[in-house]
Amino acid sequence: GAVVSQHPSRVICKSGTSVKIECRSLDFQATTMFWYRQFPKKSLMLMATSNEGSKATYEQGVEKDKFLINHASLTLSTLTVTSAHPEDSSFYICSARGPFLAGNEQFFGPGTRLTVL
């Protein structure tokens, strides 16, 4: 149980385009989802917290107009990187937490590798 999926697993796009990444909780309802970013050989950095039905909360230094987050249902959150540039190339990982999961733990998706040319 507690499986989280992400789609796509990798994406390559041209500079200036927008890219949408989906995060789904497959077998539980996720009241809260989190988005992280990880650069090569670095640790995960929390970008934003997404609660179903409300606006996302962004960490300091993360541009909310550039990284649009929508948590439209209890099983789906989307991250849209708008007008992507090469410096946005990174590994984006989501995690989900449900209200009744044992230990209130976060379960992570497999990640999405974004490469902006």
Partner 1 sequence: LAKTTQPISMDSYEGQEVNITCSHNNIATNDYITWYQQFPSQGPRFIIQGYKTKVTNEVASLFIPADRKSSTLSLPRVSLSDTAVYYCLVGERGGGADGLTFGKGTHLIIQP
Q: Which residues bind partner 1 (CB under 8 A)?
A: 4, 6, 32, 34, 36, 43-46, 49, 59, 91, 93-95, 97, 101, 103-111, 113
Q: Residue 23 or residue 116: which is nearer to partner 1 going by CB? A: 23
Residue 104: phi and psi, rounded to 5, are 55, 35
Q: How far is CA 43 from CA 18, 39, 73, in A?
A: 25, 7, 29
Residue 88: phi and psi, rounded to 5, are -85, -5
Q: Judge contact between 28 and 2, C-beta under 8 A.
A: yes
Cα–Cα dist 116/109, whole Å = 21
Q: Residue 8 or residue 110: which is nearer to partner 1 going by CB? A: 110
**Minimum Å distance from CB 30 to partner 1?**
12
Q: Residue 63 or residue 105: which is nearer to partner 1 going by CB? A: 105
Cα 25 to chain centroid, rounded: 12
**Minimum Å distance from CB 66 to partner 1?**
18
Q: Residue 49 or residue 82: which is nearer to partner 1 going by CB? A: 49
**Minimum Å distance from CB 97 to partner 1?**
6
Cα 10 to chain centroid, rounded: 13
**Minimum Å distance from CB 73 to partner 1?**
20
